[in-house]
């Protein structure tokens, strides 16, 4: 392995570890904000739960990835990752307000509201990521 790669490896591992912690924390909060149990629903084969949760995760990961590419410190990554998580939670709450029956639709396996939620999460995540270019 070239020397420059070996020298960059600790930074890569540190950023990757912080990103995984942020992802885990976001997932923990998101799963506790929603009134249904996505993991159990996904294990039971509920496509709507998988679609909506997948969209939320990717919607969160996009700004985190952008911050990794543009930040100078792990503290920047942690702070902006927290902002990204709050924005994604707010996106879910807006979608829930827009479609109040989504709390019943996703556990029932209705994919149309789940697709809307996923696309909304991705859209917010994309805009969020673009705003985090500094």
4, part of any domain: no
Distance of CA 19 to the CA centre of its chain: 11
Tokens 């995760």, located at residue: 57
Residues 6+ apart with CB under 8 A from 102: 95, 96, 113, 117
- Domain, as residue range, for 102: 15-131
121, part of any domain: yes
Tokens 């709507």, located at residue: 48
48, part of any domain: yes
21, part of any domain: yes
Alpha carbons 95 and 36: distance in angstroms, whole number? 15
Alpha carbons 37 and 20: distance in angstroms, whole number? 21
Q: What is the pLDDT of residue 1?
A: 65
**Could you give the number of structural domains in the chain?**
1
The predicted-structure confidence for 95-123, as pLDDT tens digits, reads as follows 999 999 999 999 999 999 999 999 999 99
The two three-digit tokens of residue 79, written as one number: 């702070």
Q: What is the pLDDT of residue 5?
A: 77
Alpha carbons 78 and 27: distance in angstroms, whole number? 15
pLDDT grade for 49, boundaries at 50, 70 and 90: very high
Q: What is the pLDDT of residue 87?
A: 97
5, part of any domain: no
Alpha carbons 84 and 70: distance in angstroms, whole number? 15
120, part of any domain: yes
42, part of any domain: yes
Neighbours of 89 (CB within 10 A): 17
């Amino acid at each position: 392995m070239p020397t420059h790669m070996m020298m960059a490896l600790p930074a890569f591992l540190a950023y990757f570890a912080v990103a995984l912690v942020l992802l885990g924390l976001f997932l923990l909060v998101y799963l506790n904000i929603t009134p249904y149990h996505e993991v159990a629903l996904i294990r039971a084969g509920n496509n709507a739960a998988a679609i909506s949760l997948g969209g939320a995760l990717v919607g969160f990961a996009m700004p985190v990835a952008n911050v990794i590419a543009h930040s100078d410190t792990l503290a920047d990554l942690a702070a902006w990752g927290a902002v990204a998580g709050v924005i994604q939670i707010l996106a879910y709450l807006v979608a829930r307000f827009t479609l109040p029956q989504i709390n019943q639709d996703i556990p029932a396996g209705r994919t149309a509201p789940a697709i809307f939620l996923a696309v909304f999460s991705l859209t917010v995540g994309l805009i969020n990521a673009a705003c985090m270019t500094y």
